Amino acid sequence: MAIRNIREFGDPVLNKVCKEVTEVTPRIRELIEDMLDTMYAANGVGLAAPQVGILKRIAVIDTTGEDPYILINPRIIEESGEQTGSEGCLSYPGKAGTVTRPEYVKCTAFDVEMKEFTFEAEGLLARAVCHELGHLDGHLYTEYVEGDVYEVKYAEEED
């Protein structure tokens, strides 16, 4: 368990196409654990492997803080509708932009046992799926931004 360094926009690793995972080795399990730790530590809702410098088709997503999706070799097999809203990226801290995404997606992916599963996502989860899968092909949300990227002010954390 460790928090990894998040690569930021401008790092060429973020523009590369990632390779399929053929086997979940102990190193890949460790990578996934570290990606979860890194995402939660940064208060993010999703993180893709290239954001920690690893060019493999792995993403983690948790929009509820309850139960993360661990997606290996994920693919969108169906999409419909449209949502327009604010989107940011842990690789571009303090910024956000308006992006239109499908309102609904259906995906397949493999879990850590390399069992294939299918799930449906709507709203924020659908947006996160589209965003993270984009990272696996070297795409960043700024390619799709309508208007300008703007500064986001985060509320002070209370404890």
Residues in region 10-69 near Ni ion by CB under 5 A: none
Count the site residues for Ni ion by CB under 5 A.
1
Instruction: Specify the residue, 54 or 89, whose C-beta has the smaller distance to Ni ion.
Output: 89
- H or E element in which residue 27 lies: helix 26-41
Closest separation in Å from C-beta 90 to Ni ion = 6
Alpha-carbon distance of 80 to 16, in angstroms, equals 27
Phi, psi dihedrals of residue 126, rounded to the nearest 5°: -65, -40
Closest separation in Å from C-beta 35 to Ni ion = 12
Handedness of CA 42, 136, 72, 132 (dihedral sign): positive
Instruction: Specify the residue, 73 or 91, whose C-beta has the smaller distance to Ni ion.
Output: 91
Residue 103 catalytic? no
Instruction: Specify the residue, 60 or 89, whose C-beta has the smaller distance to Ni ion.
Output: 89
Alpha-carbon distance of 154 to 159, in angstroms, equals 15
Residue from 89, 99, 107, 129 that binds Ni ion (CB under 5 A)? 89
Options 30, 87, 132, 151, the catalytic residue: 132
Beta carbons within 8 Å of 150's beta carbon, 6+ residues apart: 95, 96, 97
Which active-site residues does the annotation give?
Answer: 132
For Ni ion, the binding residues (CB under 5 A) are: 89
